[in-house]
């Protein structure tokens, strides 16, 4: 029982930790890229250090030791750089990126409930980092500068002998001196700080003539599990004993009168230390909401809509009778108010689903950097409009296309540095990602000032691959030829390099966008660069739906119309007056098969393996389906013209594989 509760608690903790880890890793990645350009930016270093520190703390709390040791290594290096003991080298940068990659793998493994990768795989890199030499070239001294200790050395106020003398002097003056012996748990962490805490607290109530270990030693972390304080006054020493006993990790406090012989030193004097300043972080007035919660809210709104429909029906019934017409019309106006409210609710929830572009572009600077290095190119990557918000589904749909476009920009767009110099361009190529709102659309653009596309080469490839005839290709403008890259099957020869290879081409990018009602536009000019613009809808009609398979076709059934899903076993199916039925708890529910319903013979027995308990307006019905493919968020596409009035068909959607699927309106199909 307790174990179960613990496991639950752990799962909750892990969830929070993972969310935070994602943020930390994304920020760290961006900051590392920045650090490479500004290796002595202290705010940046501080931020990086803090991030590792936070992550380490979180991992330690959940006992994820492997990550703790890796974070610790990274933290140490960053700390040394931060405090000026080391400086950033490119070797160090590479190591830091490697460690970051390990942490990402670790996060993914943990997120999937797997064991994280063993730290042994990365610890050598961490160790190498720690001994990574500072750059020896340049005029500056090779000797690592020791930053002033955070806790400066204090002048010892009174040597050991002097303490004995002063204690004896106190005693001789008639001041009773008491020896307070405080024992700590031997395994208590930060013993010296505990000592310091006791000392400080006792000093508030009594005069402390000295201590062992001395204040200086305590401040320098020389302490054991025993602390002796020399306190003046009988009453005061009793108070001191009480206070000391309240301190954590203290197991015993004893007091005795001072007689002779002990060696102590000490006094306290506040010292100054460099203050820590961290770049101001913008803290928006936002809260984190689990998407699952939003979805369940959305489903509840769906139920509201169903209730409203029922209310309207009842109202209509009442209004048709003159005796109840007055009540009916009252209910009717209530129903229409309910409709307004629920559609506003729906709008609000849709807005709550919006996420900033920021949430997917964080990885891009690093990606562009790595790609550029691998291609031997120099690039300057900039982003604007990262706070532009769009629906989660849209964000997911443009993630891969953006990656592809950026890869293209680096691999095919930007020329080699010497080539660029020869052309009179700046050595480093510019790649820009920008996003903004325009009319009722969102535009996201990737542009570069590279070589542009070569229409002649694209034309020849397209002809060679039989995508267009030589004759037809001659009639196209250069712009039209360049747009051939969106055709499936056309990828220019160099597309298969290590960098661009990933199997996602421009045609897939286009397909992804079309799924979410977006468009992709291309502008290119040889020698000047390429600009690809994604046009995205501001709002989307999205629903959660179950995808089911029936007679080899996939259908989408809105989740909101399904109450429960059962796996069908023969014994749970019975028959009532010759019609199939199944028992759901204490109810008998008619069982029809989707296949049968679609071919207008609902009672036919078939190989249904699952039953969906539907939420129809009148009576629940169990709908048998052959296969359940899962639950997904789908973009609803309206069917017009010929298919606009087909009973039971609510629209269509395009599945991830690109095939269309019909969305069934369960209430109307039964």
Partner 1 sequence: MATQLSGPPVQISAERQIVAFSLGSELYGVDISKVREIIPSQKIVRVPRAPEFVEGIINLRGRVIPVLDLRKHFGLPRSQSAEDQRIILVEDEYDSIGVVVDAVSSVMQIPVDSIEPPAQVIVGPDVEYIEGIAKVDDDLIVLVDLTKIISDAEKRTLKEAKNP
Partner 2 sequence: MAVAKVLCVDDALFMRTKAARLLAGQGYEIYEAVNGADAVDKYFDVKPDVVLMDITMPVMGGIEAVKAIREKDPEAKVIMVTAISQRSMVLEAIRAGARDFVIKPFEPDKLLEAVRKQCQG
Does residue 408 carry a catalytic annotation?
yes
Nearer to partner 2, 273 or 374 (CB): 273
| Torsional class of 185: left (φ above 0), alpha (ψ -120 to 50), beta (otherwise) | beta
Residues 48-107 touching partner 2, rule: CB under 8 A, are 50, 53-54, 56-58, 60-62, 75
Out of 662, 666, 667, 670, name the contact with partner 1 by CB under 8 A: 662
Identify the residue among 201, 300, 306, 443 touching partner 2 (CB under 8 A): 201
Q: How far is the CB of 651 from partner 1 (least distance, A)?
A: 8
Radius of gyration, alpha carbons of the chain = 36
Q: How far is the CB of 402 from partner 2 (least distance, A)?
A: 28
Q: How many residues does the chain have?
A: 670
53 flagged as catalytic: yes
Q: Which of the choices partner 2, partner 1, none does residue 449 contact, using the CB cut-off of 5 to 8 A by kind?
A: none
Shortest distance, CB of residue 100 to partner 2, whole angstroms? 19
With binding defined as CB under 8 A, does residue 510 bind partner 1?
yes
Instruction: Output the CA–CA distances (angstroms, integers) from residue 108 to 112, 118, 413, in the order listed.
Output: 6, 13, 32
Nearest CA among 106, 101, 144 for reference residue 125: 101
DSSP letter for 560, please: G
Residues 597 to 636 in contact with partner 1, rule: CB under 8 A: 598
Helix (H) or strand (E) holding 434: strand 429-438
Binding residue count for partner 2, defined by CB under 8 A? 43
Using CA atoms, how far apart are residues 332 and 329, in angstroms rounded to an integer? 5
Backbone angles phi, psi at 269, to 5 degrees: -150, 125
Q: Does 75 participate in catalysis according to the annotation? A: yes
Pairwise CA distance, residues 273 & 179, whole Å: 33
**575: enclosing H helix or E strand:** strand 573-576
Please tell me whether residue 120 binds partner 2 under the rule CB under 8 A: no
> Which residue intervals of 173-233 are DSSP H helices?
191-205, 215-219
Point out the catalytic residue in the list 29, 31, 80, 408. 408
Query: CA-to-CA distance for 259 and 157, rounded, in angstroms?
Result: 23
- Contact between 155 and partner 2 (CB under 8 A)? no
225 or 606, CB closer to partner 2?
A: 225
Find the binder of partner 1 among 86, 369, 515, 615 (CB under 8 A): 515
- Say whether residue 149 binds partner 2 (CB under 8 A): yes
Judged by CB under 8 A, the residue of 553, 564, 588, 601 near partner 1 is 553
What is the DSSP annotation of 351-367? Answer: HHTEEETHHHHTTHHHH
What would the x/- binding string for partner 2 be over residues 327 to 366, using CB under 8 A?
----------------------------------------
Task: Rule CB under 8 A: say whether 511 interacts with partner 1.
Answer: yes
Q: Please tell me which residue in 23, 27, 53, 236 is annotated as part of the active site.
A: 53
Q: Does 274 bind partner 2 (CB under 8 A)?
A: no
Strand order in the sheet with 579-584: 562-567, 610-614, 622-625, 587-593, 579-584, 573-576
Pick from 412, 384, 636, 663: which is nearest to 530 by CA? Answer: 412
Does 538 engage in binding with partner 1 (CB under 8 A)? no
Distance of alpha carbon 460 from alpha carbon 468, whole angstroms: 10
How far is Cα 188 from Cα 43, in angstroms, rounded to an integer?
34
- Tell me the closest approach of the beta carbon of residue 232 to partner 2, in angstroms: 22
Question: Is 661 a residue that touches partner 1 (CB under 8 A)?
Answer: yes
Residues marked as catalytic: 53, 75, 408
Chain positions contacting partner 2, by CB under 8 A: 13, 16-17, 19-20, 47, 50, 53-54, 56-58, 60-62, 75, 149-151, 189-190, 192-193, 196-197, 200-201, 219, 221, 246-248, 268, 270, 273, 275-276, 278-281, 283, 288
């Amino acid at each position: 029982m307790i174990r179960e509760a613990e496991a639950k608690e752990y799962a909750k903790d892990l969830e929070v930790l993972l969310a935070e880890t994602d943020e930390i890793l994304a920020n760290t990645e961006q900051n590392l890229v920045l650090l490479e350009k500004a290796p002595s930016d202290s705010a940046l270093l501080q931020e990086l250090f803090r991030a590792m520190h936070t992550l380490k703390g979180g991992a330690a709390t959940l006992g994820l030791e492997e990550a703790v040791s890796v974070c610790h290594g990274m933290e140490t290096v960053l700390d040394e750089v931060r405090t000026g003991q080391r400086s950033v080298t490119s070797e160090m940068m590479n190591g830091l990126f490697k460690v970051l990659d390990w942490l990402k793998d670790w996060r993914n493994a943990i997120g999937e409930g797997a064991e994280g990768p063993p730290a042994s795989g990365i610890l050598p890199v961490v160790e190498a980092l720690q001994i990574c030499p500072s750059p020896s070239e340049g005029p500056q001294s090779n000797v690592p500068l020791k930053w002033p200790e955070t806790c400066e050395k204090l002048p010892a106020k009174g040597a050991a002998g002097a303490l004995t003398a002063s204690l004896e002097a106190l005693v001789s003056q008639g001041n009773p001196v008491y020896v307070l012996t405080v024992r700590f748990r031997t395994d208590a962490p930060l013993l010296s700080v505990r000592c310091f805490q006791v000392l400080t607290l006792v000093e508030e109530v009594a005069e402390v003539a000295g201590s062992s270990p001395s204040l200086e030693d305590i401040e320098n972390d020389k302490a054991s599990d025993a602390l002796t304080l020399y306190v003046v006054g009988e009453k005061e020493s009793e108070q001191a004993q009480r206070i000391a006993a309240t301190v954590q990790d203290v197991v015993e406090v004893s007091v005795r009168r001072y007689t002779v012989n002990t060696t102590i030193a000490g006094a306290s004097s506040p010292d100054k230390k460099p203050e820590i300043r961290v770049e101001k972080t913008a803290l928006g007035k936002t809260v984190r909401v689990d998407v699952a919660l939003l979805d369940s809210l959305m489903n509840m709104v769906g139920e509201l809509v169903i209730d409203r429909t029922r209310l309207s029906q009842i109202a209509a019934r009442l209004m048709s009778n003159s005796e109840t017409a007055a009540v009916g019309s009252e209910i009717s106006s209530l129903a229409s108010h309910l409709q307004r409210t629920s559609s506003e609710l729906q709008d609000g929830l849709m807005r709550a689903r919006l996420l900033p572009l920021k949430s997917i572009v964080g990885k891009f600077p690093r990606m562009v950097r790595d790609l550029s290095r691998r291609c031997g190119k120099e690039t300057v990557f900039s982003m604007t409009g990262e706070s532009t918000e769009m629906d989660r589904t849209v964000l997911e749909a443009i993630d891969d296309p953006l990656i592809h476009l950026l890869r293209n920009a680096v691999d095919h767009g930007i020329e080699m540095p010497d080539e660029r110099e020869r052309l009179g361009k700046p050595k480093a190529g510019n790649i820009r990602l920008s996003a903004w709102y325009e009319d009722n659309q969102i535009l996201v653009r990737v542009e570069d000032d590279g070589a542009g596309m070569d229409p002649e080469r694209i034309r020849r490839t397209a002809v060679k691959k039989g995508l267009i005839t030589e004759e037809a290709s001659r009639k196209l403008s250069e712009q039209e030829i360049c747009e051939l890259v969106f055709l499936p099957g056309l990828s220019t020869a160099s597309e298969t390099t290590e960098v661009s290879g990933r199997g996602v081409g421009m045609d897939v990018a286009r397909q992804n966008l079309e799924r979410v009602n977006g468009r992709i536009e291309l502008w290119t000019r040889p020698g000047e660069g390429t600009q690809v613009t994604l046009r995205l809808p501001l709002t989307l009609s999205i629903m959660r739906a179950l995808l089911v398979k029936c007679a080899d076709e996939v259908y989408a059934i809105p989740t909101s119309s399904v109450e429960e899903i059962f796996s069908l076993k023969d014994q749970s199916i019975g028959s009532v007056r010759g019609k199939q039925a199944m028992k759901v708890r204490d109810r008998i529910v008619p069982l029809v098969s989707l296949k049968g319903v679609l071919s207008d013979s609902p009672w036919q027995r078939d190989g249904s393996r699952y039953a969906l308990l539907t939420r129809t307006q009148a009576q629940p019905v169990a709908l048998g389906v052959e296969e359940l493919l899962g639950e997904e968020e789908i973009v609803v596409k309206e069917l017009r013209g010929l298919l606009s009035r087909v009973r039971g068909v609510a629209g269509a959607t395009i599945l991830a594989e690109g095939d269309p699927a019909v969305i069934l309106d369960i209430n109307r199909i039964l």
